[in-house]
């Protein structure tokens, strides 16, 4: 008798769970969505989130509330995501730092790559080598000459340990053979304020967060880290053109959900985001920021993230950055 009841109950339970998940997906979203930004306001992660948040809200018919949770190389924000229910109502604007580089820079992390479910990429952009507008160097070669003449005198800011901004600085330091000091901040916003104030010397910032200051003359761009020049800064050479043939970095930003979020919900978020990124106004905004949108399916995004994780493991080894 017990075996018969057990035989009947298990399929029934599976059916109920399937119906429940299907109903959840059919009604999703039925309340506001929280979009975590694991970096300080004013940086590219924040900019990327705000570029899509309002348009995504209109597309989904629910508010998308940006929630800044900065600190600890985006670890705090990522922890907040994975502690949330996997129901599609908490997502994160991840990026190359916490979702690829951090795995090689920290001996222990409070999350694993399997704890996050990729939705799609939103923005990709080169980094840009910027200095204060009053700094004497007008080219990368001039900067190298000044730094070699005064070892330990100059510094490079970053938005936090493990971000592409930090690793671009480490790559430059290693490839140019310089003694310059890393100064990490809790985000690109505060780092840029100190750069413009003269407290730090240079920064390999994500192009979108520096663009307005370059165009206003508060910062001078010496090079970009893409394979080709930025259409928005056609007179600024690449690091390759500046004499560093192996220097190419593309920062990326994308949406992630907690692991075990039902696939129909992931697919709904992907479809809505893809539609938003094809909106002419959003596309123009991304181009004006010096970036582009590499949106792809959740499956392809997952494969891309895993490949980036492997790539940056080798970069960390080459730059001789010691894991913490």
Q: Region 12-34: what's the mean pLDDT?
A: 68
The CATH number linked to 220 is: 3.40.190.10
Q: Region 137-143: what's the mean pLDDT?
A: 98
CA-CA distance, 244 to 150, in Å (whole number)?
21
- 151 and 114 within one domain: no
Does the N-terminal peptide bond of residue 29 adopt cis geometry, omega within 30 degrees of 0?
yes
- 263 and 116 within one domain: yes
181 domain residue, yes or no: yes
264 domain residue, yes or no: yes
Q: Mark out the alpha helices in the chain (DSSP H runs).
A: 2-27, 44-60, 75-82, 96, 102-105, 140-149, 164-176, 188-197, 207-215, 263-277, 280-288, 298-318
| Count of domains observed in the chain | 2
Give the model confidence (pLDDT) of 148-182 as tens digits. Answer: 999 999 999 998 888 899 999 999 999 999 999 99
- 151 and 101 within one domain: no
pLDDT grade for 12, boundaries at 50, 70 and 90 = low
236 domain residue, yes or no: no
Q: Using CB atoms within 10 A of its CB, is residue 100 exposed (0-12), middle (13-18) or buried (19+)?
A: buried
- Regarding pTM above 0.95, the answer is no
- 193 and 212 within one domain: yes
Domain range holding 169?
Answer: 126-224
- 256 and 200 within one domain: no
Residue 20: CB partners within 8 Å, gap ≥ 6?
Answer: none
CA-CA distance, 313 to 78, in Å (whole number)?
20
Instruction: Give whole-number Cα distances, 229 to 235, 249, 275, in Å.
Output: 8, 13, 28
């Amino acid at each position: 008798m017990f075996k018969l009841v057990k035989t009947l109950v298990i399929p029934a339970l599976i059916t109920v769970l399937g119906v429940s998940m299907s109903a959840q997906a059919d009604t999703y979203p039925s309340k506001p969505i929280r979009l975590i930004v694991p970096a300080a306001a004013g940086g590219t992660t924040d900019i990327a989130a705000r570029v899509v948040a309002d348009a995504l809200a209109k597309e989904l018919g629910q508010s998308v509330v940006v929630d800044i949770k900065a600190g600890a190389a985006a670890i705090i924000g990522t922890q907040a995501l994975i502690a949330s229910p996997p129901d599609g109502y908490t997502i994160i604007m991840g990026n190359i730092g916490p979702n690829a580089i951090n795995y090689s820079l920290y001996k222990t992390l409070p999350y694993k790559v399997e704890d996050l479910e990729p939705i799609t990429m939103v923005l990709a952009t080169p980094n840009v080598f910027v200095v204060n507008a009053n700094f004497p160097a007008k080219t990368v070669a001039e900067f190298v000459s000044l730094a070699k003449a005064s070892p330990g005198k100059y510094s490079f800011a970053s938005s936090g340990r493990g971000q592409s901004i930090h690793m671009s600085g480490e790559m430059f330091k290693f490839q140019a053979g310089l003694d310059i000091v890393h100064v990490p901040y809790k985000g690109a916003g505060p780092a840029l304020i100190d750069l413009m104030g003269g407290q730090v010397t240079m920064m390999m910032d994500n192009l979108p967060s520096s663009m307005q200051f370059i165009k206003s003359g508060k910062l001078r761009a010496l090079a970009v880290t893409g394979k080709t020049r930025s259409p928005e800064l056609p007179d600024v050479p690449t690091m390759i053109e500046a004499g560093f043939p192996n220097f190419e970095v593309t920062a990326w930003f994308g949406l992630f959900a907690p692991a075990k979020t039902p696939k129909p919900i992931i697919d709904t978020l992907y479809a809505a985001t893809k539609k938003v990124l094809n909106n002419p106004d959003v596309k123009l905004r991304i181009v004006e920021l010096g970036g582009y949108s590499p949106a792809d399916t959740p499956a392809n995004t997952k494969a891309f993230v895993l490949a980036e994780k492997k790539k940056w493991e080798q970069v960390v080894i080459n730059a001789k950055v010691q894991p913490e």
